[in-house]
Amino acid sequence: MAHPTGPTTVSREEFRAAVAATIGSVHQFYREISRLDTTLRESLQAEPDPLVAIGGLAARAAKDTERTNVRNWFGQLFEPSLEEDEVVEDDTDVEDEEEDGQRKRKSQPILLDSDRHMLIVKLKLFDPRAAEAPEPELQYAVVGDWSCGPANPKAPAGQQLELARYMLRRVVRAFDASSHTKGQRVTTKAMVKSKKGTRSIDRQVSFRVLSEAKRVPLYDLDSSAALDTVGTSIREHWAAATTS
């Protein structure tokens, strides 16, 4: 049988140690990302004037040591707390299933007014398309001016876009503070609910970046004080963008 890694000069002991170190490091890294994400989310959801997560992809720690949720990014959409809003700790694609094969509970669909403002907070960890590995960073911006279709027509007053809540994950995925600027329209792969005779391209959701897209290196978020500071900065950024 051929060696699983091909011809190598690495000894058996070196190979064993390298595998153990790599897997252990990955587990530790994502545990720290989960801690950072949870702390930041709790900071934004604290009184006064809480901003609650309504959908996206939270960095949750694995429930056991045999699995690690390895992803290039995590992020969620936030907005001021309203009694009728459903607070979502983590949004799950309908294609995801539990280990026992049972589908997870489906969330209620979300209705978007064209002028509904939301805050995107994203942890960008890696970009496989980049020629050089980018620095892991926290990104955030206020978005709104929701639309759908290739011409990006603004929805008439009172008209709402209805989409499955898991589609908000695709909204967060489309945002990238390294390339998006204030005023730019961003087309996502999120789709409004299907209607008979409607083409897929006409259901594609887009949004406009309403504030400066901010970036903070994760390397700098190395203490509770640093997380408190960035949480305050995000709240101030939201307030400035939605009251001006």
pLDDT in tens, 93-141: 444 433 334 445 566 889 988 889 999 999 999 998 888 888 999 999 9
Most confident of 17-26, 94-103, 171-180, 199-208: 171-180
In contact, 75 and 172? CB cutoff 8 Å: yes
Sequence-distant (6+) residues with CB within 8 A of 69 are: 30, 59, 60, 62
Predicted confidence at residue 126, as pLDDT, reads: 93
Sequence-distant (6+) residues with CB within 8 A of 149 are: 201, 202, 203, 204
Predicted confidence at residue 82, as pLDDT, reads: 65
Predicted confidence at residue 133, as pLDDT, reads: 85
